Structure 1
């Protein structure tokens, strides 16, 4: 019985955190009053819980959205030989530019390949 109680607590904690994250996002990205943003977040969380509650599922990362606009702009300017120039322009280190290029390249590859299991 103790295990069930622990799982219920963890589930409630996850849903509360989801409401908090959605509330913050809705409030920051809309002109809704904070209390209305919370109601929207609660409703969205309730719908997720109703639809997928009790299921075990994989929540994929959104590869494209993880890459910021700045990273995309750096990648678009990258020609394979201008790492130092981009580092100077952006105030980042050359190593940071290399990591950004790698991350965007991987993100683009993941987008092109799609999900092999849900084709």
Structure 2
């Protein structure tokens, strides 16, 4: 088993390298600009969180929300079983996610019908 040997400097350099690689692949920027961007992000993280013990989560919630959005985007209303097989999920889970996403969009678009209005807004 490999001993953990990462120092703070190596952590920031690894972060800078990953951000630079992502900028090249995702944004299509050149290597010099990508490296500068990676270094800038690493230094920002050092400024914001420097000196703190930091736990880095695995991003499960972000991955889940991406999956939920994919399910909702791909759902036609008649292909839930196909989506369940495609993503190796239960049919009940697909129905639950699609319903939850639909309700969230309705709530966002309708707003709160009973919210108090500011009198200054009315003329």
| Interval of TM-score (by shorter of Structure 1 and Structure 2) | 0.5 to 0.7
Higher helix share: 1
Q: Which runs of 5+ in 2 are unaligned?
A: 105-123
Task: Provide TM-score, normalisation by structure 2.
Answer: 0.51
Q: Which runs of 5+ in 1 are unaligned?
A: 1-5, 113-119
Structure number with larger C-alpha Rg:
2
Please list every run of at least 4 consecutive aligned residues from structure 1 whose deviation after the TM superposition is greater than 6 angstroms.
none
Q: Which has the higher contact order (CA 8 A, sep 6+)?
A: 1
Match of 2:17?
Answer: 20
Q: 1:98 aligns with which of 90, 101, 116?
A: 90
Q: 2:48 aligns with which of 48, 51, 55?
A: 51
Task: Provide TM-score, normalisation by structure 1.
Answer: 0.52
- 1:73-116 Cα deviation digits (max 9, x unpaired): 4246287x96533357xxx27xx0329x47x94xx79xx9xxxx
Instruction: Measure the CA separation in 1 of the matches of 2:9 and 2:31.
Output: 22
Residues 33 and 49 of structure 1, relative CA distance in 2, 3 Å threshold: same
